[in-house]
Structure 1
């Protein structure tokens, strides 16, 4: 396995489970993104102008990055912070760095 590639599912659980509000915010954002993707599918079906479709794809890319950064921030504040405080931060920091590299691609 590529050393910079993260496993699809680590099987780990968050140190502090997400609150209902946190879950709902992420889910709402992902549902909006899903709607945007469906909108792009319709644009393609309707043979809309390429640039208009590309603008929408860019908006989705940005929305996904925002969702990812939100999750990354929470992970850092809870999971990574907890690992550092308990003296086990190296592995958690390495994992965070790998996901940040994947995110930056």
Structure 2
């Protein structure tokens, strides 16, 4: 299995966890659980989605947005700064 396949499997596993959390909210609402419990479940999903989004954006920046500078080297500092900014925004 290639590194790309392993990364794809990790992302799919995250989606499955998020799906499980959404199912838990449905069960919680159906059973009439306390609003605070439902809100906590929603916050967990939001965190999972934000984390997934950050991961996909980071991958996109690293693999599709880097362009060589005049010397033919990649502007790693700029890409890393952008990744840090995205991660901070999505927290």
**TM-score past 0.5 threshold:** yes
When the two structures are superposed, what TM-score results if normalisation uses the length of structure 2? 0.71
Q: CA deviation at 1:85?
A: 2.5
Deviation at 1:86, TM superposition (A): 8.4
Matched, 1:39 2:3: no
After TM superposition, give the deviation of residue 55 of structure 1 in Å.
0.6
RMSD: 2.2
Q: Which has the higher contact order (CA 8 A, sep 6+)?
A: 1
| 1:85 to 2:71 alignment | no
CA deviations over 1:36-91 (Å, ceiling 9, x no partner): 0000000000000001000110010001000110111111111001xx2389xxxx
Structure 1 stretches of at least 4 aligned residues deviating more than 6 Å after TM superposition = none
Distance in 2 of aligned mates of 1:51 and 1:74: 35
- Mark the runs of 5 or more structure 1 residues left unpaired by the alignment: 1-17, 88-95
**Runs of 5+ consecutive residues of structure 2 not aligned to the other structure:** 71-81
